[in-house]
Structure 1
Amino acid sequence: MADHIYQGAIMAGPYSAVREAGDMVFVSGQLPIDPETGVMPEGIEEQTRATLRNLEAAVRSIGLDKEAIVKTTVFMTDFSDFPAMNAVYADFFGEPYPSRSAMEVGALAADAVIEIEAVAHRS
């Protein structure tokens, strides 16, 4: 097993941003914060795009593409944003889509409106 911290990670606690276990890769929840500027965009569509870019950067840090992502969990502070998030998500991944769970939560770090974690598979 290997732990990885990719350059864009904004670490806020004792965890690995990316962790491999055999051929499985676990990516901690990604927020919509630009790793270079520390700025978070406004609105669910832009925050979803930024979060997915950070998720992609995490898997690329260990030599995988977003196509290796097989499962995601989406946390949102307002489930009425689901249709807008879903449209951005569909454009980002394309078919075959990862399996997914989505849920509304009371709050997220940095007052983000979305966070996404993932499981990827190394073939």
Structure 2
Amino acid sequence: MEILYTDKAPEAIGPYSQAIEAGGLVFLSGQLGIIPDTGALAHSLAAQTVQALENVSCVLKAANLTLKDVVKTTCYLKNMEDFALFNEIYGQYFGDHKPARSCFAVAQLPKDGLVEIEVVAEKKA
């Protein structure tokens, strides 16, 4: 097992790692729409979704991976009424690559975020 870290994504806000590589898979902890340089959340659902996906991309890059290597995502929204806008932005990032996905509305996210995205990616030999 290897702990992965990049300073291009937000620091973990608790006792966990940004990502762990194990058994040919890379497990990313959930990424909020936190701007790494400031530690603040982006200002809107759209901006937080973009930032969360950028953070995911940066952590994947630390493992020499891209969004094309993602096999599963789990997405958490504060409000399911935001699903259409979230889905539109998510689709722009993943394009024709369509990993398996779950998406849930939750009562509250850390830092009162509006969206959180976690992924599992495959590290090919």
TM-score normalised to structure 2 length = 0.94
Structure 2 counterpart of 1:5, one-letter code: Y
Aligned CA RMSD, in angstroms, stands at: 1.0
Cα deviation for residue 70 of structure 1 reads 1.1
| Structure 2 counterpart of 1:82 | 83
Match of 1:24 in 2: 25
Counterpart amino acid of residue 87 in structure 1:
E
SS at match of 1:84: helix
Query: Which residue number corresponds to residue 36 of structure 1?
Result: 37
**CA displacement 1:64-100 (0-9 Å, x = unmatched):** 1111111100001100100000000000111121110
Q: Work out whether residues 32 and 117 of structure 2, in 8 Å CA contact, stay in contact via their aligned partners in 1.
A: yes
Match of 1:58 in 2: 59
Name the counterpart of 1:4: 4
Q: Is the 8 A contact 2:34 2:52 kept in 1?
A: yes
Quote how far apart the aligned CAs of 1:9 are: 3.1
Q: What is the identity, as a one-letter code, of the residue corresponding to 1:85?
A: F
Q: Give 1:63 deviation, angstroms.
A: 1.0
Q: Distance in 1 between matches of 2:10 and 2:47?
A: 19
- Which structure 1 segments of 5+ residues have no match? none
Which amino acid in structure 2 is aligned with residue 63 of structure 1?
N
2:29 alignment partner AA: S
In the alignment, is the contact (CA less than 8 A) between 2:10 and 2:34 conserved in 1? no
Runs of 4+ in 1 over 2 A off after TM superposition: none
1:6–1:18: 8 Å Cα contact kept in structure 2?
no
Distance 2:110 2:101 in 1: 21
Give the distance between the partners of 2:119 and 2:70, measured in 1 at CA.
7
Identity %: 36
Q: CA deviation at 1:39?
A: 2.6
